[in-house]
Amino acid sequence: MATPTSATRSTRSSTAPPPAASSTSATTWTRSRASRAPTGATSSTPEFVLPEIDSDHIVSLFEGNSNLFWAERLGREHLGGMNDLWVKQCGISHTGSFKDLGMTALVSQVNRLRRAPLSRPINGVGCASTGDTSAALSAYCAAAGIPAIVFLPADRISLQQLIQPIANGATVLSLDTDFDGCMRLIREVTAELPIYLANSLNSLRLEGQKTAAIEILQQFNWQVPDWVIIPGGNLGNIYAFYKGFEMCRALGLVDRVPRLVCAQAANANPLYRYYKSGWTDFQSLVAGTTFASAIQIGDPVSIDRAVVALKATDGIVEEATEEELMDATALADLTGMFACPHTGVALAALFKLRDQGIIGTNDRTVVVSTAHGLKFTQSKIDYHDKNIKDMLCQYANPPISVKPDFGSVMDVLQKKLNVLGS
Ligand SMILES: Cc1ncc(COP(=O)(O)O)c(C=O)c1O
């Protein structure tokens, strides 16, 4: 197995030499505070993302360059001996999700435009969000001193996500509708008011997000993985990955692109249904509740882009029930990760594709982790409490209540560790 650069692994075997540190990142287009010059001087990413941006206009919070985690134990013990399974940790980022990658590009461009003489000034930047976009927008705008306006579906995002835009000083509108309702409203409002729309139908976001694909190739020393599995909701990200991979192929950096898998929650699966119809019948739907709340979307704005990405990469769409995604998340955690439920959707899709023999034991496979697990702790608490209706929670690991005396503690530990009492 070739050893990726700037990747980590849970344990390192003697046959696998330590990965070399990567000095550049696909997303190191940030300004150094000291020099105000791009830190990734050898990186060509500014040209890839936003050509001709002046480094003084870049708004960056040192996003990108995320870890590629070798999911060695998960692959070996739970996926039939897979030995080349990786998790791209896009959620380990400033605001805890992959959205930072796109938001740096969008807010930089707005920053640049606001300093230029414009016939129609930009008074603020707005988005509808299932949580993570609003967090990223608010942080980048706060750093640049640009007003942010976020439309959120009331009671449908995690508390940790909600507090981010509030803390960063955004104008937060909590609306009694779902994400799709928020999206319709923000489109109407931005058509009337001088608010720049920051949702991923804005291609600047996707230009930034595509750098995760470039990073993966860079981390594998420009060897192309066989599969990349991405959880999908509004479906901008799957297209962004395709763009990044395809750009590297067109530039001659690699000779092929990986097969993409888009993973959806079964309760919010319009793309999956479209795929199953042989791409003949797209129906938007009212998304049902899912623990993967950031992909609870029934009318994805980037549906056509996603189809382009999947057709061009011989891609697959898979779905995961709530139990499948929560079990996959728990198993990943039990092997050293702390996955969010969206990553669980992607992992559950991997389990299914392995069972069906579509993804092989030796296939190099990357699962894209889109958010930090700490943003979604309530679902983990409920799972480990076995407090989810109609769910077995088979991998629950609840804390054990013990009397605070030596004998009681010893009894529990001897039983747990299978040690005979003396
Ligand atoms: C954590 C997380 N995962 C996945 C997605 C899905 O990305 P996209 O809407 O581009 O399909 C989102 C988007 O909101 C997200 O926040």
Are 247 and 121 in the same domain?
no
What burial letters (b/e) apply to 397-415, b meaning 16+ CB within 10 Å? eeeeeeeeeeeeeeeeeee
> Rounded to the nearest whole angstrom, what is the distance from the C-alpha of residue 310 to the centroid of ligand 1?
17
Residues 39 and 68 in one domain: yes
> At residue 53, does pLDDT exceed 60?
yes
Confidence of residue 18 (pLDDT cuts 50, 70, 90): very low
- Residue 106 structural domain: 99-202
Bridge-based pairing state of the strands 227-231 and 148-153: unpaired
> Strand, helix or coil at 238?
helix
Q: How far is the CA of 399 from the centre of ligand 1 (A)?
A: 32
Domain boundary among 148, 182, 202: 202
Query: Using only C-alpha atoms, what is the Rg of the chain?
Result: 22
> Are 124 and 196 within one domain?
yes
Task: Return d(Cα 216, Cα 211) in angstroms, integer.
Answer: 9
Is residue 130 in contact with ligand 1, taking CB distance under 6 Å? yes
Q: Name the burial class of residue 255, with classes exposed (0-12), middle (13-18) and buried (19+) by CB atoms within 10 angstroms of its CB.
A: exposed
HSE at residue 181, side-chain half, CA atoms within 13 A, is: 12
Specify which residues 264 forms β-bridges with. 319
* Confidence band of 420 (pLDDT split at 50, 70, 90): confident
- 111, 148: one domain: yes
Q: Is 344 in the pocket of ligand 1 (CB under 6 A)?
A: no
Is the Cβ atom of 153 under 6 angstroms away from ligand 1? no
Higher pLDDT: 367 or 2? It is 367
Residue 216 CA, ligand 1 centroid: distance in Å: 18
How far is residue 312 from each of residues 6, 127, 260, 273, measured CA to CA in Å?
29, 29, 9, 19
- The answer to the question of residue 389 being in a domain is no
CATH number of the domain where residue 144 is located: 3.40.50.1100
Mark whether 198 and 239 lie in a shared domain. Answer: no
Overall number of domains in the chain: 2
> 227-260, pLDDT tens digit by residue?
999 999 999 999 999 999 999 999 999 999 999 9
Report the pLDDT averaged over residues 295-310. 97
Residues 119 and 251 placed together within one structural domain of the fold: no
Residues 238 and 357 in one domain: yes
Structural domain contains residue 151:
yes
The verdict on 278 and 338 lying in the same domain is: yes
**In a shared domain, residues 55 and 134:** no
23-37, 133-147, 375-389, 390-404, range with the lowest pLDDT: 23-37
Any ligand 1 atom below 6 A from CB of 294: yes
- 387 inside domain: no
Atom of ligand 1 nearest to the CA of 99: 16
Tell me what the pLDDT averaged over the chain comes to.
Answer: 91
Contact 43, 24 (CB under 8 A): yes
Query: 395 in a domain, yes or no?
Result: no
